[in-house]
Amino acid sequence: MKQKTKKLLQLSFSLGFLATTALVATSCNQPKTVTPKPTNPMQPGNGSGSEATTPGSGETMQPGNGSGSGTTTPDNNEAKNQLESVISGEMNNLAMYDDYSMIKSTLAQAYEKAKSVSKKSDASKEELTTAKTTLETAISTAASSKDKFNEDNASLVSSFNALKEKVKNKNLVISQLTDDYGYIKTYITNLYKNASDIINAGLQAQTAPRTEDVQTLNSNIDSSSADLSSKKEVLDQYSAFKPFIISKDNFKGSFAYTNDAPSTGSNIQSTVGFSSNFDNDDNSNKWRYARRTIKQASEEESKNYTDVSWIYSLTSSTTGEDQTSASYDLDFNYYSGDKAVLYFPYKAAKSDQVVTEGQDKKLSLKYKLNDSEAVDIDVSKAKVDGIEVAEIELSKLNFGKNTISFTTDSGKSAPMIGNMYISPTKENKSKVYNAIFGNSVDQENPDKITVDLAKGYGLANKRSTIFTKLHGTLDGETTAKDYYQIGFLGGRLNNTGSNDSTNIQYYTFYVNIPKAGEYDISGIYNSGDSRGLWFWIDSYNNDTPNTKASFKNLMFGTWEQNKFKKFDVADKNQQNPTSLNLNVGLNKIIVSGLLPNNLAPNLLNVTFTYKDSNQSGSINNRE
């Protein structure tokens, strides 16, 4: 029994030895698998940063000579590929946060950290996996941060995105504007530049955009780029100047006087500007506004021919409840820059409004441009028997709508003020003067100026002087047409009273002269009786040399024939001159009848033609 047991033990030992030997032999013929081992900072190594162990042997394997070129397992490859797959979306992901600089910066840093792990040749699977998870978390955090920002700043984000869409249309809008519309083009281009600056800085700029500013910029781009054809048309209207006729609709607030000068009916007031005292405080007057009316013409026809108008009062009402300050408000659109020049005629209604230096001023006129403070206008030159032209430089004009409000100080009166004229520059002053006073320059001879008396501003010293329409024929023509003339000049009113200037009917008008010198006078008249004319410079019956001219025997046909004829040097009155020495710019001319007790012919116009003789063309003062 013992012998049998002994043999079995020997056989078992032999089989075990053979199996072990075979296993060792097989292991020696296969590649060794190196299993990375996490670095233990407490266990010193050889400086390579990693160790490997041979499976089954329990023996630690040194990876090399400390060069850092580790060995990679299939598990590492998969982890690295997964990390690089997440990294590959970097450009697209970061682009989603172009408008969110803070979020984008944080996410970009996360990508850089992930890429640094991915580039490590000896990165462990755990490092690769951790880097991937960290980056995915950063991507998710960026998305949620963006959503949170958008939720907290919904109005800003909405306005910002709308601004981005508008900027995309920049070239399309700008291409519609040539250099002829330079200011519109520059203004809109600057708006787009401001928009681009905001967009480039983003929603999380160091100086964060304000919702109100972005909304305003959106609105400004919309309004400035909309209906460009209309804006170009408005700009064209200011190529020289644009007139603004006094309108009843522009009177705002509570006025002490609310009457308008009668323009229809039997009590029609034809002449609305006077060179003698006009008592607007009289109950029969109390005009707030007056517009010239041509008799025998329809109201529409009269308005189409002449726009001469005057504001007579800006005094506020002080009686009753709910009274508001009186003003005349001029609204206008402007696209010609942020500066302009405003012109308008003005005068005093009564002599007691005119004071000398040192006296308390009786007249007051202020203007307020948009939201700026009211500014005093110098009206110290106002007089009863003449018209002055105010010239006001406007600045800080809005692109688009502007409002100028005219008021007067309490306890004072405003001067009479006429139509407004706005020009981009002072270079157009002469053209503005021509428009105010009904002057026209001959196209072939720039030194020939014709004054249309019914069209332009002027002053009658008596209310009896009128403007009328007459359908008639001009000498040398066969076709009759409508003419507009001034009548009841010269002579004494109702043929009574003295022959001094306070009793004689005369009319004051202005001619705008391009160069100083002597000018021949001519014109067109209508008269069925033999009548004559006197012209004076500056004042009625001025006896200073070179300041008066006269014509006589002016008659053509009968009154019933409605004929018109030209008068000129051929109609001279004996040895009296038929020309005047005039200065550059506005010259005040008075016209009346040849004799104090004789009426003058009806006048259509008066023409002044420069005399091209041996005289010097630079006479600046009358002798």
At 135-148, the pLDDT tens digits run 999 999 999 999 99
- Residue closest to 457 by CA, chosen among 511, 499, 383, 414: 511
Q: Is 498 left (phi over 0), alpha (psi -120 to 50) or beta?
A: beta
DSSP-based three-state secondary structure for 75: helix
Check residue 306 and give its pLDDT: 98
Angle 206-211-217 from CA coordinates, rounded to 5°: 100
Q: What average pLDDT score do residues 122-146 get?
A: 95
Give the tens place of pLDDT for each residue, 355-377.
887 778 899 999 999 999 999 99
Q: How far apart are CA 590 and CA 439, in angstroms?
A: 16
558 burial type by CB count under 10 A (0-12 exposed, 13-18 middle, 19+ buried): exposed
**Cβ atoms within 10 Å, residue 599:** 21
Residue whose structure tokens are 């007459």 = 470
Rounded Cα distance between 78 and 84, Å, is 10
Asked whether the beta carbons of 118 and 83 are under 8 A apart, the reply is yes
Q: Are 369 and 394 in contact (CB under 8 A)?
A: yes
Which of the 8 DSSP states describes residue 358? T
HEC-encoded secondary structure of 239-299: CCCEEECCCHHHEECCECCCEECCCCCCCCCCCCCECCCCCCCCCCCCEEEEECCCECCCH
Smallest Cα–Cα separation from 126: which of 58, 66, 50? 50
Percent helix / strand / coil, the chain, rounded to 5 = 30, 25, 45
Output DSSP code: residue 26. Answer: H
What is the tens place of the pLDDT at every residue in 609-620? 999 843 444 444
Q: Any idea what the Cα angle at residue 460 is, between residues 621 and 533, rounded to 5°?
A: 65
> Model confidence at 17, in pLDDT bands (50, 70, 90)?
very low
Q: Which residue has the tokens 């209906």?
A: 227
How far is it, in rounded angstroms, from Cα 333 to Cα 397? Answer: 10
Mean pLDDT, residues 446-456: 98
Residue 130, pLDDT > 70, answer: yes
CB atoms within 10 A of CB 513: 21
Using the 8-state DSSP alphabet, how is residue 54 labeled? E
Domain limits, the chain: 2-61, 74-152, 154-237, 242-427, 439-610
pLDDT tier at 267, thresholds 50, 70, 90: confident
Rounded Cα–Cα distance for residues 352 and 366 (Å)? 20
Compute the distance between CA of residue 337 and CA of residue 186 in angstroms, rounded to an integer: 10
DSSP code, position 577 = -
pLDDT of res. 73: 67
Ranges of beta strands (E only) in 313-438 are 327-334, 339-347, 366-369, 375-376, 388-395, 400-407, 416-417, 420-423
CA separation for the pair 331, 404 (Å, rounded)? 7
Mean pLDDT of 7-26: 43
Which residues lie across from 580 on neighbouring strands?
519
Mean pLDDT (whole number) for 17-42: 42
Residue bearing the bigger pLDDT, 68 or 522: 522
Q: Decide whether 242-427 matches 439-610 in CATH topology.
A: yes
How many Cα neighbours within 13 Å face the side chain of 390? 25
Confidence of residue 72 (pLDDT cuts 50, 70, 90): low
The pLDDT tens digits of the residues spanning 374-404 come to 999 999 999 999 999 999 999 999 999 999 9
Burial of 231: CB neighbours in 10 Å, binned 0-12, 13-18, 19+? buried
The CATH homologous superfamily to which domain 242-427 belongs is Galactose-binding domain-like (2.60.120.260)
Across the range 399-418, mean pLDDT stands at 97
Return d(Cα 412, Cα 328) in angstroms, integer: 16
User: Which has more confidence, 234 or 318?
Assistant: 234
Token pair of 166 as six digits: 């508008």
Contact 597, 492 (CB under 8 A): yes
Predicted TM-score (pTM) of this structure: 0.81
- Identify the CATH number of the domain defined by range 74-152: 1.20.1270
Residues contacting residue 401 through CB under 8 Å, at least 6 positions apart = 331, 332, 333
Flag whether pLDDT at 12 surpasses 60.
Answer: no
Distance CA 113, CA 44 (A): 27
Helix (H, G, I), strand (E, B) or coil at 369: strand
Q: How confident is the model at residue 1 (pLDDT cuts 50, 70, 90)?
A: very low
Distance (Å, whole) CA 242 – CA 423: 6
For the record, the structure tokens of 615 come out as 């005289």
Which residues sit opposite 394 in a β-bridge? 340
Q: Which of 67, 38, 149, 52 is nearest to 104 (CA)?
A: 149
CB half-sphere exposure, 455, CA atoms < 13 A: 18
Angle at 279 between CA 461 and CA 300, to 5 degrees: 65
Q: Do 342 and 280 form a contact (C-beta atoms < 8 A)?
A: no
Q: Of 97-111, 254-268, 280-294, 462-476, which range is least confident?
A: 254-268
Whole-number Å distance between alpha carbons of 36 and 241? 89
Helix (H, G, I), strand (E, B), or coil: what is residue 618?
A: coil
Distance CA 577, CA 590 (A): 15
* pLDDT tens profile 567-581: 999 999 999 999 999
Confidence of residue 315 (pLDDT cuts 50, 70, 90): very high
Q: What's the N-to-C CA distance of the chain in angstroms? A: 171
Contact 590/540 with Cβ under 8 angstroms? yes
Q: Which fold has domain 439-610?
A: Jelly Rolls (2.60.120)
Among 22-31, 308-317, 446-455, name the one with the lowest average pLDDT: 22-31
Helix (H), strand (E), coil (C) string for 472-522: EEECCCCCCEEEEEEECCECEHHHCCCCCCCCECCEEEEEEECCCEEEEEE
Cα 203 versus chain centre, distance: 30
Q: Is the pLDDT of residue 26 over 80?
A: no
Average pLDDT, the chain: 88
